[in-house]
Structure 1
Amino acid sequence: MIKFDVRFFALLFFVFLSAGLCAQKVNVSIKVTNKKNEPVPFASFTVIKRNDTLVFQQKNSDSTGIARFMLEKDVQYIIRITSVNYLPLEKGVTATPNHNFFSFIAQDLPKTLQGVTVTSTRPLMRQEDDKTIVDPEPIAAASTNAYEILEKTPGIFDQDGNVYLSSMTPAAIYINGREMKMSRDDVVTMLKNLPPNAISKIEILRTPSAKFDASGTAGGIVNIILKKGVKPGMTGSATAGLQQGHYGNQFFSFNLNNNDGKKSSFVNLNYSRRNSFEEIITNRFFAPDSELSQKAFTKYPGTAYFGGFGLNNSLPKNWDIDYGGSISYNNFNNNTENESAIKKISSDDTITNNLNRVNNNGYALNIRNGFEFTKKLDTIGSEWDNDVFHNFTENNSTQAFSTLYYSPFFIKTGGDGTSDNKRNFFTVKSDLKLKLKRRITVETGVKSSLLGFKSVTNYFNESGGVRTKDIGRTNTFKYNENINSFYAQGSKTIGKNIIVKIGARLENTNMEGRQIIPSDTSFTIHRTDIFPYIYFSKKVMSIAGYELRSYLVYRRTITRPAYDQLNPFPRYIDQYLSEVGNPTLRPQFTTNYEANISVDERPLVAIGYNDTKDIFTNVIYQADSSRSVAYRTYDNLGKNKELYLRGLGVLPPGKKYFFVLGAQYNHNFYEGLYESKPLSFKKGSWTFFTYHQLKLDKRSQITLNGFIRIKGQQQFYELSNFGALNTSINRQFMKQKQLIITLSMNDIFYTNQNDFSIQQGSVKANGNRKSDTQRFGINIRYNFGIRKKEETNDMFNVEPPERN
């Protein structure tokens, strides 16, 4: 299989190389700087053919202030540049093979700007090197929190509380480039506490470089960048909204930003009250003639409070200091009613039936603080970045459960318990990037992280009025983790069209877990691994002035078990099912190969292959000889080979309407052992997604987005077809368009529900899952302060320039 992959990528390389020979235009680089000769990142460039103003190109500059275009030789072009904090700039150029680099200086905006409005377009999605950058503003208008923004972003799929990009391995969630090191449930809670208008951009890294952690990034990284008061002057907004489904959500958020040119600060406040439900119907066959049928209905009411704050200051000698912190508090009072019955299949006789009630009442507290010190070493992008970050999470809950048996005897049993989990995560890292001569970039850095986790649970059973300690579920578990890493990578631009980046990351892992109650057991892991990374990019050709560029990526990653997957404490679900960690889990290693093509910095098509060794995944095992009691856990099963294809198509947009249509195919092949018996499981699934936007007039627009997954998969569960279609319409009011009202409808046809089935080892089950996804919403936002820049949000940044 490896030989096949090498031949495959070699073939792609020579196809791209031969195709690139057909290109005849001049590759032009345009750089914009300020008076201090500092690059102006993310400026909007419009390049117009002087003798035919209907022919134009639009792009944004990268982080070094450079935008690249394919222009016709010896033809005159008009260059228009706009950026926040700077006056509009217009220049004329003529490109030749010997004169293909232009540099312009943008003038600062005056301190008073009465009557001045700068208008530019900003793409929803664009490609910069090895990451896709998403502007969340169009989606945020119809969302109540950050998690909903991820749900609606084209190409990002959420399922079972995880976020997926290219593969069936969950992606890691970063905030401001920092790993959170949180459990799946904690990440979901954190994202639901973030107000939607607090997000500046979302970076999608499907194949992260050696600069990023090798651990936990096999499925890629979703990096959420929060706003930090980048607009000059004092600006802000107040937003209120509600959503109504079977139950309702309400929220209010307020943000204030201040920027005087040297110092900037921000404050984000958010209050939300949420309520939803989930209904799961399950039929499990645990004996040749016995079936366990269950219908569980869970209600999830909760209240969340969030506060975020930050300060950025420019210091002498090109130093910048950035502080960002946040605190969130979420309380919940979840209630589950589960009707269960065991029947004989042949006679349909009921052996036993009962009603199980579970209440989980508690809170989750999260406090984050980070300091970043950055020194700019030159004006072309070299910098030294240092970061210190601390994340504290506390989860405290009380559980009460009872079971009322109706037959064969009328009996009532029950119990209660408390759970207290505390986690401290501390990281310190230093990154150095040097821009050298001959278009060489060198990056290197070190990082050290410390994680301390402690879980204390106390459970009691009650029967016939007698309360006794539940030894099986009373548990005290401690886990400590230290990961030290070093990376180095270098990139070089060869000729005009080829970019090569090669790097490696060394990670030293030290893990120690100890269970004190009910018995004293422990485990330790000490290992050092190296993870190579190779990136190759080449321009293939130009089509109608748009650059077609190919990419080849090779990387190796590791997925270490998280503390909740290692904790042996059994968590009570009902009298027939519990969840338990596995302290003997081993890490899994994944080798990834990907080839992709982008058009004018927009992703177009990709093919990739993941080869995973010693894979661990969620499994269900029978807990007793009768097989009526089961438990969910994690186990190393063997290996998995995954092939994925991804495509994105765009209708060339006009001034008012455009749409995007994407598709992704995943095929997984598992081989190994399940319950000590040979395992062979193959599954392929398709996912289609789309995004539409129609401008009704200068103040109104309507959007439509959705997805459908065909023959879906969740670990070893096979899922029926499911999907969702969402729409929103917004209207701007008042003279300066400060007031924006948005109406939205999520899951219009209530199709985001699925049937599931599993048949592995001794476990055979099927069922249905649905939740409170069909919702109508209204959001009202008021913007205040001096607005220096008004931005329109077109997905692919191709709106024609203004005509004189």
Structure 2
Amino acid sequence: MKKTSTLSILLLAAFFLHAIKSSAQIKKNGTVSGMVKDNQQKPLDFATISLLKAKDSSLVKGALTDAKGSYKVSGIASGKYLIATSMVGYQKVFSKPFTISETNADVAVETLLMSAGNHQLKAVSVVAQKPLVERKIDRTVLNIENSVLAAGNSAMEILEKAPGVTVDKDDNISLQGKQGVTVMIDGKLTYLSSAQLATLLRSTDGNSIQSIEIITNPSAKYDASGNSGIINIKLKKNKAKGTNGNLTLTGGYGAYPKSSESVSLNHKEGKFNFFGSYNHGNRQQARNLDIDRTVGGQAGNTFFTQKTFMQQTNYYNNYRAGMDYDVTAKNTIGFLVNGYFNGEKDQNFTHTLIGAKPTAVDSMQNTNSTLNQTYRNFAFNLNDRFQIDTAGQELGIDLDYSKFNNNNIAQYTTDFFLSNGDSQRGSLLLRNQTPSEISIKTIKADYTKSFKKIVKLEAGFKLSDVKTDNDLQAQKLAGNSGYVNDTSRTNRFIYDEKISAGYVNLSRNFKKLSVQLGLRAENTSSNGNLITKNQVVNRNYLDFFPSLFLHESLSAKHDLGFSYSRRIDRPSYDNLNPFVYYLDQYTYSQGNPFLKPQYTQSFELNYSYNKTVNVSMGYSHTKDVMTEVILTVNKASYETHLNLQSQDSYNVNINTPFTFAKWWTGNVNLNGFYLGFKSDSLLGGNLNKGRAAFQLKALQTFTVGKTLKAELSSNYQSALVYGLFYIKPQYSVDAGVSRSFFSKKANVKFSVSDIFNTRRNDLTSNYQNTVLDIRQKGETRVARLTLSYNFGNSKLAVRRHNSGADAEKNRVNTGN
């Protein structure tokens, strides 16, 4: 590690010196830059910039302004010029003439102010729509806004359709076949465990999502967590003064009914901008879980045949409110309050047959379990964004506080029978109460500065302080004494974690080559205390995470890129918690307080043809990979996580849009990958497993007239190997249709997920003395009808809010 860190620092220093030297010496062509704003001093994005010769107003070059209203035109020969800017709905504006020469190569044009046009265009309709799947230099973007398939679906259900993304039976999210994905919302980490994150995503209405960004190799600016990359869910925003809002109602039915309602409201007046939203939903769903298990022993094999029916009823209430205040034209402060109060009730029934032969039953047992869970969260963010100058120098500061309060009350009743159905012995009654509390405090600052429009510096720091307190109160019924404490299972686990991080990124744009070199340092101090058993695990470690990005434009139609990064994944809070969660006497799950973080080095080469066809090839190596395993003790099998020695991953991804007709367009994504796992001493044996696999996703859009649109989504994933498990193929088809009314203010959408009811999660495992065959079918075929109405000004500007506590929230549970 020290060699890597030293080399990274030397490379960073050499690159910085070279970049500054180059910026001072290399000026073969002139550049002109500036900003475009409206009369209210608000930046105008996507305004057309034309560089004209001052002599005859002939066009030399063109450009577009970015989201901040800035533009830059490079490669300009010596001469006298002027800038013209135009935009639909605004009057054309010209700059004063200026001269480009050897002594005046870089010209900053005065800010151009555009006034709204006083004329109207008659009988002209211009519609610009982003493709459903869009490939950019460093990420793939799934444009959800206005998509039919988003209607009534949750964020989790939409993610399952995203290129290269899969969701397994336990709601673990994988990217290009690898687990360890960091999920962000509006650029903010969620700090949740996989189970809690799944709950949050299932309670996030798809109608509130603008787009989903998939970043397979993030830069040093992002938290170093997430070995397979980052998925950033961007919520919708609007763009002008006034008041606007949206009301959405959804009803659905699969095996059980489902409903959701959401309302959002925004108001901007003067220097103030107020915004808020509320989402509510009720959902019933069912799942069938069948497990055939063979456990070897000195006395021979024992065979278990287990069938479980799981019925779940849950509700969610998510809220979000805040305000922005423009202190000056360059400085905006704001605060954001958001949270949820969710609940869930699970009713599970498990029937288990036990015998010395597969066809012979020696005994049986039935387990009824009832779980009542509540999830509460409150989060507060205070932020300040300061634009220091028009050259791109900015400073952003975020202060965050989040608190989670979860409670789980579980009741288990197990009845035992002989093979003929007679009672074998008295019932076993168990009861668990599991309150848990998580608090998260973070402070984050990000600074950006450009040098001569050639070199860009990004730097920042982040401090986080996380504390979790889990108290398992386990009881069992003891005759007339009633419920008494079960000392073998009762425990309390307190976990404290502090992370100090800093980063620096340097970017340099050459004529056709762009280079970015970054380094992030993170120091982690953690303490896990299993109080009842007096087990304490202390860790303190400093890590460096270098990153490198290269992008070259070979020609107008050919682009080539390369990226490298080193990343870390820390165990989720649930996986560190050693509590035992029962399905029945022979099946349960348990955390591992000794689980270590895993480290990944990733390399990726990508090629783009005509900005549409994209091909990428990647390789990554993960050390101490955290993997789900199933262990057997006294014929009982339990799920936990262990560190395997390593994981090697190879992948090839091909993404291309297609157009069969003006009304029929779409996108195809093919992802091929190989996952290999090694461990020299796993449960007394050597593990060396791997398999090549692929995933194919096709999205098709059909446009009929101006108000009717239909979409069809299909997905196939071949069989693959992950750790100890062989996962069987999966496939499904979704479809939807929408119609807009009242000048597109109202919309009706009807969709059906998993039309043929084929989506399921089946897997097998055969290691040491345990053979497993798991078959799981959830309620995946659901029909939904969604009504939505937009009211007020549809162009209200809402500033995107990113807190500094998003990485830590990725590791907590939310319910639903």
TM-score range, shorter chain: 0.7 to 0.9
Q: Does 1:500 align with 2:515?
A: yes
Q: What is the CA deviation profile of residues 139-186 of structure 1, one whole-angstrom value per residue up to 9, with x for unaligned ones?
A: 364234332332333443322313222341231111222222111111
Q: 2:367 corresponds to which residue?
A: 356
Q: 1:454 corresponds to which residue?
A: 469
C-alpha contact 1:141 1:742 (8 A) present in aligned 2:
no
Letter in 1 for 2:573: Y
Q: 1:382 to 1:69 in 2, by over 3 A?
A: closer
Q: Does 1:208 align with 2:208?
A: no
Q: 1:378 to 1:407 in 2, by over 3 A?
A: same
Letter in 1 for 2:152: S
What is the DSSP-based 3-state SS (H/G/I as helix, E as strand, rest coil) of the residue aligned with 1:534? Answer: strand
1:557-576 equivalent positions in 2, closer than 5 A: 557-576=567-586
Q: Distance in 2 between matches of 1:769 and 1:101?
A: 65
Letter in 1 for 2:675: N
Q: Does 1:729 align with 2:737?
A: yes
Q: 1:801 corresponds to which residue?
A: none
- The TM-score with structure 2 as length reference comes to 0.83
Q: Distance in 1 between matches of 2:173 and 2:106?
A: 42
1:165-314 equivalent positions in 2, closer than 5 A: 165-214=175-224, 216-227=225-236, 230-260=239-269, 262-287=271-296, 288-314=300-326
Q: What is the CA deviation profile of residues 298-320 of structure 1, one whole-angstrom value per residue up to 9, with x for unaligned ones?
A: 11101111111121221126211
Q: 1:662 corresponds to which residue?
A: 669
Q: 1:146 to 1:656 in 2, by over 3 A?
A: same
| TM-fit CA distance, 1:697 | 0.8
Q: What is the CA deviation profile of residues 577-597 of structure 1, one whole-angstrom value per residue up to 9, with x for unaligned ones?
A: 221111222221110000112
Letter in 2 for 1:492: R
C-alpha contact 2:37 2:69 (8 A) present in aligned 1:
no
C-alpha contact 1:268 1:307 (8 A) present in aligned 2:
yes
Q: 1:541 corresponds to which residue?
A: 555
Q: Distance in 2 between matches of 1:351 and 1:686?
A: 43
Q: Distance in 2 between matches of 1:684 and 1:33?
A: 51
C-alpha contact 2:675 2:722 (8 A) present in aligned 1:
no
Q: What is the CA deviation profile of residues 60-81 of structure 1, one whole-angstrom value per residue up to 9, with x for unaligned ones?
A: 946664599999xxxxxx9996
RMSD: 3.4
Q: 1:779 to 1:32 in 2, by over 3 A?
A: farther
C-alpha contact 1:126 1:601 (8 A) present in aligned 2:
no
C-alpha contact 1:38 1:379 (8 A) present in aligned 2:
no
Length, aligned pairs only: 732
Q: Distance in 2 between matches of 1:270 and 1:616?
A: 35
What is the DSSP-based 3-state SS (H/G/I as helix, E as strand, rest coil) of the residue aligned with 2:196? Answer: helix
Q: 2:383 corresponds to which residue?
A: 372
C-alpha contact 2:63 2:73 (8 A) present in aligned 1:
no
Q: 1:45 to 1:422 in 2, by over 3 A?
A: farther
Q: 1:386 corresponds to which residue?
A: 397
Q: 1:206 to 1:113 in 2, by over 3 A?
A: farther
Q: What is the CA deviation profile of residues 634-684 of structure 1, one whole-angstrom value per residue up to 9, with x for unaligned ones?
A: 111211111011110211465322111111112111111210211111122
Q: Distance in 2 between matches of 1:549 and 1:622?
A: 52
Q: What is the CA deviation profile of residues 322-343 of structure 1, one whole-angstrom value per residue up to 9, with x for unaligned ones?
A: 3222121111111111110112
Q: Distance in 2 between matches of 1:41 and 1:129?
A: 23
| TM-fit CA distance, 1:201 | 3.4
C-alpha contact 2:373 2:409 (8 A) present in aligned 1:
yes
Q: 2:37 corresponds to which residue?
A: 34
Q: What is the CA deviation profile of residues 371-428 of structure 1, one whole-angstrom value per residue up to 9, with x for unaligned ones?
A: 2211102223221111111221111010000111121515321111100011011110
Q: 2:805 corresponds to which residue?
A: none
Q: Distance in 2 between matches of 1:65 and 1:120?
A: 22
What is the DSSP-based 3-state SS (H/G/I as helix, E as strand, rest coil) of the residue aligned with 2:114? Answer: coil
Q: Distance in 1 between matches of 2:175 and 2:361?
A: 45
Q: 1:788 to 1:412 in 2, by over 3 A?
A: closer
Q: What is the CA deviation profile of residues 181-230 of structure 1, one whole-angstrom value per residue up to 9, with x for unaligned ones?
A: 1111111222222233333433322111001111x221211122334554
What is the DSSP-based 3-state SS (H/G/I as helix, E as strand, rest coil) of the residue aligned with 1:147? Answer: helix
Q: Distance in 2 between matches of 1:111 and 1:359?
A: 67
Q: What is the CA deviation profile of residues 28-58 of structure 1, one whole-angstrom value per residue up to 9, with x for unaligned ones?
A: 99986215898947537799xxxxxxxxx99
Q: Distance in 2 between matches of 1:46 and 1:290?
A: 76
Letter in 2 for 1:669: G
C-alpha contact 2:91 2:115 (8 A) present in aligned 1:
no
| TM-fit CA distance, 1:122 | 3.3
What is the DSSP-based 3-state SS (H/G/I as helix, E as strand, rest coil) of the residue aligned with 1:316? Answer: coil
C-alpha contact 1:118 1:788 (8 A) present in aligned 2:
no
Letter in 2 for 1:376: Q
C-alpha contact 2:164 2:177 (8 A) present in aligned 1:
no
Q: What is the CA deviation profile of residues 234-267 of structure 1, one whole-angstrom value per residue up to 9, with x for unaligned ones?
A: 1111110111101121011111112236332211
Question: Which of 482, 485, 489 is residue 469 of structure 1 equivalent to?
Answer: 485
Q: Distance in 2 between matches of 1:550 and 1:474?
A: 57
Q: 1:787 corresponds to which residue?
A: 794
| TM-fit CA distance, 1:102 | 12
Question: Which of 331, 343, 350 is residue 319 of structure 1 equivalent to?
Answer: 331
Letter in 2 for 1:355: N
C-alpha contact 1:193 1:328 (8 A) present in aligned 2:
no
Q: 1:653 to 1:542 in 2, by over 3 A?
A: farther
Q: Distance in 2 between matches of 1:42 and 1:430?
A: 26
Q: Distance in 2 between matches of 1:185 and 1:172?
A: 14
Q: 1:232 to 1:123 in 2, by over 3 A?
A: farther
C-alpha contact 1:44 1:122 (8 A) present in aligned 2:
no
What percentage of residue pairs aligned between the two structures are identical?
22
Q: 1:3 corresponds to which residue?
A: none
Q: 1:483 to 1:142 in 2, by over 3 A?
A: same
Q: Distance in 1 between matches of 2:64 and 2:667?
A: 18
Which structure has more RCO (C-alpha within 8 Å, separation ≥ 6)? 2
Q: 1:43 corresponds to which residue?
A: 46
Q: Distance in 1 between matches of 2:662 and 2:380?
A: 44
Deviates more, 1:559-568 or 1:299-308: 559-568
Q: 1:619 corresponds to which residue?
A: 629
Q: 1:153 to 1:262 in 2, by over 3 A?
A: farther
Q: What is the CA deviation profile of residues 500-531 of structure 1, one whole-angstrom value per residue up to 9, with x for unaligned ones?
A: 000100110000011112x2121110010111
Q: Does 1:442 align with 2:457?
A: yes
| TM-fit CA distance, 1:363 | 0.6
What is the DSSP-based 3-state SS (H/G/I as helix, E as strand, rest coil) of the residue aligned with 2:429? Answer: strand
C-alpha contact 2:266 2:796 (8 A) present in aligned 1:
no
List alignment gaps of at least 5 residues for structure 2: 1-28, 51-61, 77-82, 798-816
Q: 1:489 corresponds to which residue?
A: 505
Letter in 1 for 2:730: F
C-alpha contact 2:690 2:721 (8 A) present in aligned 1:
no
- The TM-score with structure 1 as length reference comes to 0.84
| TM-fit CA distance, 1:706 | 2.4
C-alpha contact 1:711 1:719 (8 A) present in aligned 2:
yes
Q: Distance in 2 between matches of 1:691 and 1:261?
A: 43
C-alpha contact 2:152 2:785 (8 A) present in aligned 1:
no
C-alpha contact 2:308 2:348 (8 A) present in aligned 1:
yes
Q: 1:29 to 1:437 in 2, by over 3 A?
A: closer
Q: 1:363 to 1:377 in 2, by over 3 A?
A: same
Q: 1:530 corresponds to which residue?
A: 544
Q: Distance in 2 between matches of 1:102 and 1:706?
A: 50
Q: Distance in 1 between matches of 2:724 and 2:305?
A: 20
